Each structure stands twice: as C-alpha cells, then as structure tokens.
Chains A and B, each alone.
Chain A
Amino acid sequence: MLRVDGLSAWYGEAQALREVSMRVDEGEIVTLVGRNGAGKTTLLRCLMGLHGTYGRTMGTISVSGVDVTGLPPHARARRGLGYVPDDRGIYATLSVEENLMLAPVVKSGGGPEPWPLERVYETFPHLRERRRSPGTTLSGGEQQMLVLARVLRTGARLLLCDEPTEGLSPLFVQRIGEILREVREAGTTVLLVEQNVHFAASVADRHYLLAEGRIVESLDRDQVREREHQLLEYLGI
C-alpha cells in the first residue's frame, strides 16, 4: 500500500529525517512512535507532499505501487491519502457540514466505500445537531471526530493520522480506537502517529519506533506488549 525508501528531509540546514524506509501493507494499522521532535509529523507531512514550503526532501514514496514523490498534495489526496493533521485542521470559517464536505471524494474505485453524509451523521449524531455552527465551536473530542469523519467521507484508502488521541478524554480515545478498527474491517489502511503506547498497542498490527529522524526499530504487537514499560520509559512518559 505505502512504501517509503530512503526518505530524508531538512528544515533549512537541519536534517529532520534520515533515510527513512518503511512500508505499510494493505489493511494494516501501523503506528509510528517516538519522542517529541523525533520527526513523526515531518514524516507524515512528507508523505502528504507538504514539506516543500520548509525545505528539501530526498527519497521516494509510492502508494499502491505508483510513485507519488513528485505529485502535489491535492493529487496525493485524490489517489487516496487521507490526512489528519496534528492540530486537527478544522476551519473556523466553515460550518461543521462544510468542513465535512470540503474534501472531494477520492477518484477511481478499489478502495473502501466513501461514507455518505447520512452515515457520518448516524455515527456522530452530535455533528448533525451542530452542522450549521462554525467547525471550531465543537469541543476538542467532537473536533477530532469531525476530522476523522472528513477523511472517511472521501473514501480515503490510507489514513495518515497525526496524534488523533492527543489531549482527549479516555472516552474519546476509546471511540477513536473503535472507529479505526471498524474502518480497517472495511479495507482502510492506517498509519498512526501515537505517543500513547497503550492505545497504540491496542489498535495496531505493527509499530515503527522513530528516533532523531531514523527508524530504529520495527516491532509487532506482542513485542510492544512485552516491552510497553521499556517503551514508555524511553518515550519519557
């Protein structure tokens, strides 16, 4: 599904990613864990084609066997990448419903079914109640639901989620876990940046550990369970 080869990225002279190579197979949930500043957000932004405004990149990225390295962000989105940014990215000048409808549905079939608006509202009734209000008037948890719903509505094949559980109450964290498992069943692939190791271990099939811009380890679910304490210590939580 996703294949990254020798990806490096710089902010001016400072190198933030060092020859990262990784892959995510179809239907997998893979997390990317690492300390603050390890380069997780940078990696997702590179995958989305958003690093260009900050500095240079090198290496190749391919999605479903197609090299997307040279493609602009909107073309990547149209090929099925669904981006959930770390700051959520709700538009204050758009209503809840407009926030949902802004992103166009992914073209060419083969992927998971796009969620019709009706299904979004059935799954998240609160969004229906607030559909005419500005997106940013929702609570933090509801905003995160909105952002997830936004990419599901497009029928994105590979979700790139940057710390979706950050700052949320356990109830919402649990809800996000349910949604991720549900969309995986429907054929969606997920690359999840996560500091919450416990949550990561509960949803993901595999994990990459990123440190100072390098992938230092690749772990499966059981390894993470065994080493949860060690990982937590390493992450400084």
Chain B
Amino acid sequence: MLQQAFNGLVGGSFYALLALGLAVIFGMLGVVNLAHGAFYMLGAFGAFIALDAFGLNFWVALVLVPLLLGVAGAVLERLFVRRLTPLDPLYNFLFTFGLALILQDLVRREYGVNSQPYPRPPELAGTVDLGLFTYPAYQVFVLAVSALMCVAVWVVLTRTRVGMIVRAATERPELTRALGIDVGRWVTPVFGFGIALAAFAGVLAAPMRAVNPLMGADLIITVFAVVVIGGLGSVFGSVAAGFAVGLVSALGNLYVPALSQITVFILMAAVLLWRPAGLFGREEAYR
C-alpha cells in the first residue's frame, strides 16, 4: 500500500512537470499546447539519440536535451504560435495538434513503433532502503528532482521580478503592457521554458518508461485532465493536481483495478461538479 502510494507519486512527478509547463504556457499565451506530449516524447528520444549516436550519458542528456528543445520551442513560438495568437484560439489548437502528429510520425518513420531500450544511469542502478520498504534508487531520484524542479519554479514565480511579470501578464496581459512592460518579449522564453520542462520530464522518463513515439500521446490525455483538475492556468494547482492524480490513480489501481484507466476522469468529473474552475482556478474567465 505505501509502496503503491510511492509509485503513484513517482508517476505523478511526470504529470506535475508536464502540467506545470502547460499551465505556464496557457497562462501567459492563452494557448493550449497540444504538442506538449510530443515534446515529452522528443525529450525521451533525445536522451536515447544522445546515448546511441553521440555516446552522451544520461546526466549530459538531462541538461542538454531540455535546453535544445526549449530553444526549438522558443523558435516555434516566434515563427508560428505568435502569428496565430491574435486569431481565433482554434488556429493554435489545430497548429499544435498537427505539430504533435507530425513529430510523432517523423519519429515513428525513423525508429518504428517498438520501444527503444534506455539503461538506467549506473549511479542510480541500486535500491534505497526507505525504512518500510526498499525502492529503486532511480525512482526516488525522479521524485526528488521533479519536486525540486516544481519548488524552484514556484520560487521564481513568487519571489523574483520575472515571476511577478509572468503573474501580471497572466492575469491582465493588456493592462500589463499599458504599465510599460513589453509582455511580448517574455512570451517567447516562457513558451520555450514550458517546452523545456516537458523535455526534462521526457529525459527522466527514458530509463523507466518505454521510449516509443506514442509515449507522449498516451500520457498527455491524463495531463490535460490534471490541468483541468488543478484549474486552468493555475501553476500551483497543476503541480498539486499532478501529484494527487498520480497518487489517486495508483491507489485506485490497487483497490479497484478494473477502473484503473478511468480513475483520473472520475476524479476530474467530481472536481468539476464541485468547483467548475478547478481546485485552484479562478472563477472569472481570462481576458
């Protein structure tokens, strides 16, 4: 039971990292990035390719791959997303959705649908004695580093001037411009950062999840449910909901295995009935 709960939190780490990126992007740009799962997948493949083709180990990949994909995300924002945001939100919806399909198929053409093997970093190959049970060291690492990452983002958002600008631009983009802040200049790095977080989660996933072109598509549906549960655009909400959903689905899996695939959605429906704007969402619509 405790062990299952721990599994849930580890799974929740991935939800939290992905939901965090989605929330920041949605908040600042008002764009629902449907390609987020694809960038998670690219992160995992990036780690695989780095090792396979360039002999770069996990630790290098963990830094390098999110960096490169983050830059790619920033370029994407500059070239495409930015042009579409003034139009109907549907355009960015379709654009990111199409992009996800293209990225998936490009990877599939190169590597097929089978999962690629990716070894655990040797430093984290063993197990850790957690007192009540022993647990694979790598999983403990994933949980710790994800939690740390979420805390770091939280600190930046709440304690720095950059974070203040992001919060202000999320709440009232037009007014923030009228107060003398070039919101557009911040949009590109924020988008890139959100993508980098997805890629970071992808690299973390490579040693413990099957690395295949569809891994992102499978995960992202749940992540959207997580974002809705946490409250669209609420950064704190999406992280909390990420870990909570991981926990609930793992425990659900234990007690009612028949429902394991849909516990998240039951949870989402229940939360929405109770609080239509999500747990930490604000009631009023975004401007």
Contact = CB atoms under 8 A, between A and B. Distances in A.
Q: Do A and B come from one complex?
A: yes
Given A50-B174, A53-B174, A104 B168 contact: no
- SS class, residues of chain A in contact with chain B: loop
Nearest to A103: B179
A154 B180 contact: yes
Contacts of A83: 175, 178-179
B275 interface: no
Interface residues of A, number: 25
A106 B170 CA distance: 23
B183 A89 contact: no
Contacts of A76: 178
Given A50-B174, A91-B172, A102 B179 contact: yes
Nearest to B181: A74
A73 B168 contact: no
Question: In this complex, which of B86, B178, B183, B282 has the most chain A Cβ atoms within 10 angstroms of its Cβ?
Answer: B178
A87 to B, nearest CB: 9
A50 B179 CA distance: 11
B165 interface: yes
Interface in A97-113: 98, 101-104, 106
A94 B167 contact: yes
A85 B179 CA distance: 10
Contacts of A92: 171, 282
A83 B172 CA distance: 14
Given A74-B181, A78-B180, A89 B168 contact: no
A104 B171 contact: no
Nearest to B284: A92
A73 B171 contact: no
A85 B177 CA distance: 13
B221 interface: no
Contacts of B168: 91, 93-94, 102
B52 interface: no
Interface string B26-38: 0000000000000
A93 B178 contact: no
Nearest to B166: A93
B164 interface: yes
A74 B180 contact: yes
Nearest to A79: B180
A78 to B, nearest CB: 5
A216 B199 CA distance: 60
Contact of B164 (A50, A73, A94, A150): A94
B179 A77 contact: yes
A53 B171 CA distance: 17
B218 interface: no
B178 A48 contact: yes
Contacts of A37: none
Interface in A7-51: 48-50
Contacts of B175: 83, 85, 89
B170 A93 contact: yes
Nearest to A87: B175
B287 to A, nearest CB: 10
A150 B177 CA distance: 14
B176 interface: yes
Contacts of A104: 180-181
Interface string B150-171: 0000000000000011011011
Given A91-B172, A92-B282, A93-B171, A77 B164 contact: no
A112 to B, nearest CB: 16
12 contacts: A50-B178, A53-B174, A74-B177, A74-B183, A78-B180, A83-B179, A92-B171, A93-B167, A98-B164, A102-B176, A102-B181, A103-B179
Given A91-B171, A94-B168, 7 more contacts: A50-B174, A73-B178, A89-B172, A92-B171, A98-B164, A102-B181, A104-B180
Interface of A: 48-50, 53, 72-74, 76-78, 83, 85, 89, 91-94, 98, 101-104, 106, 150, 154
The 6 A-B pairs with the shortest beta carbon distances in the complex, nearest first, are A77-B180, A103-B179, A73-B177, A73-B178, A93-B167, A83-B178
